[in-house]
Amino acid sequence: MKPQPFHSDAHAPSHFIDADDILHKNVPMQDAAIEIEGLTKDYPVGFLLAKKRRSLDDLTMQVLPAEVFGFLGPNGAGKSTTIKLLMGLIFPTAGTARILGRPISDVRMHKDIGYLPEQPYFYDYLTAAELLDYFARFHDLTAADRRERIDRMLKKVGLDGARKIQLRKYSKGMLQRVGIAQAILHDPQVVILDEPMSGLDPIGRREVRDIILELKCNGRTVMFSTHILSDAEMICDRVGVIVGGKLRGVGRLDELVGVKVQGMEVLFELSRELPAIANPLLQKASRTGNRFRLEVPEEELYSVMEKLRGAGARILSVTQLKPTLEDYFLHLIAADQAQASAVEVSGK
């Protein structure tokens, strides 16, 4: 839907479920593929590194086996920090996490995990096939197995024709594809992708979505971060929303954004000027070229359509207006800003 303007006060619009309720559903589960408990990360800042900046604050959530989990948040929200903590690239200030029941400090479990870094960059003196072969060697695969998997993966990500070209000549999108190939080359149980759609054209994005869905069909767990909400809306079983280092909601999309219909959208065309009876409607509608868009309450839909038809308008479409993930997202950020303003005012 068209994003609804949110009030800058902290009152949540009624169609959203309260974030605390969502977080309360985030209870520990024995069989979770990824379990995160109280994960916190502070970075030292300032000239003497004496001050601390909290990048991730007491994150607790689970990703279930064989689900596609979208980790959503604006830039700088703490998505990549969380993923880097899970992969052991950085170390937590507090909290713990387990993947497939094993602590994240145990690098042996990496044989069952695939990881795509954000904006991946690989050894540019290698070709795609050489890079995949290099990474495959860490998984103790035989030479024949490596060759077979590399051929299959390069075909899957559409790079078979560019397999002998050095990576320094690859575009950003091609590097992203190589990154995805190396993440799933060893057939991992859990795949963690940091912004996998970044840098890809629409066809590439669709291909990545297909790969993720294929992994899910094969019983694999996929967690991916993104700030592009439409990607998450299309393929995620559940999502977690993080803003300012804090988890703000986790659950199914419909749980998060609510399912209540907010109204109806009517698109229509006019072949001639409307008579007086329909003029009030016309004043409420927004016009683009010859087309008009009108938002009406659900209970008034039929009477409005009667009036439009009576006036000779051609109805092009009627659509339910539901809040989207984007709305939810904007609502959270607006609420945060409002809270920050309130704190500032009370401080004065």
Question: Does 125 contact other proteins by CB under 8 A?
Answer: yes
The span of 4-12, 135-143, 233-241, 279-287 binding other proteins (CB under 8 A) equals 135-143
Place of tokens 């909601």: 249
Q: Closest separation between CB of residue 201 and other proteins, Å?
A: 23
Instruction: Draw the binding track, 32-71, toward other proteins (x: CB under 8 A; -: no contact).
Output: ----------------------------------------
Instruction: Draw the binding track, 72-111, toward other proteins (x: CB under 8 A; -: no contact).
Output: ------------x--xxxxx---------------xxxxx
Q: Closest separation between CB of residue 26 and other proteins, Å?
A: 26
Q: Closest separation between CB of residue 172 and other proteins, Å?
A: 14
Six-digit token pair at 339? Answer: 């809270």
Place of tokens 């907010």: 262
Residue 18: which residues within 8 A CB-CB, separation 6 or more? 12
Q: Which is nearer to other proteins, 109 or 335 (CB)?
A: 109
3-state DSSP assignment of residue 135: helix
Size of the site for other proteins (CB under 8 A): 32
Question: Does 245 contact other proteins by CB under 8 A?
Answer: no
Q: Where are the alpha helices (DSSP H) in the chain?
A: 19-24, 79-86, 128-137, 143-156, 172-184, 202-217, 229-235, 253-257, 279-284, 301-310, 325-347
Q: Which is nearer to other proteins, 62 or 81 (CB)?
A: 81
Q: Select the residue interacting with other proteins from 70, 78, 117, 199 (CB under 8 A).
A: 117
Question: Does 138 contact other proteins by CB under 8 A?
Answer: yes
Nearest to 328 by CA among 243, 209, 224: 243
Residue 68: which residues within 8 A CB-CB, separation 6 or more? 212, 213, 216, 222, 224, 235, 236, 237
Instruction: Draw the binding track, 142-181, toward other proteins (x: CB under 8 A; -: no contact).
Output: -------------------------------------x--
In this structure, the number of other CB atoms found within 10 A of the CB of residue 235 comes to 16
Q: Residue 313 — φ and ψ, nearest 5°?
A: -80, 145
The span of 137-145, 246-254, 312-320, 332-340 binding other proteins (CB under 8 A) equals 137-145
List the beta strands (DSSP E) in 152-207: 190-194
Question: Does 199 contact other proteins by CB under 8 A?
Answer: no
Give the C-alpha separation, 264 to 209, whole Å.
30
In this structure, the number of other CB atoms found within 10 A of the CB of residue 34 comes to 21
Question: Does 302 contact other proteins by CB under 8 A?
Answer: no
Give the C-alpha separation, 304 to 316, whole Å.
14
Interface ranges with other proteins (CB under 8 A): 84, 87-91, 107-111, 113-117, 119-123, 125-126, 134-135, 137-140, 179, 182-183
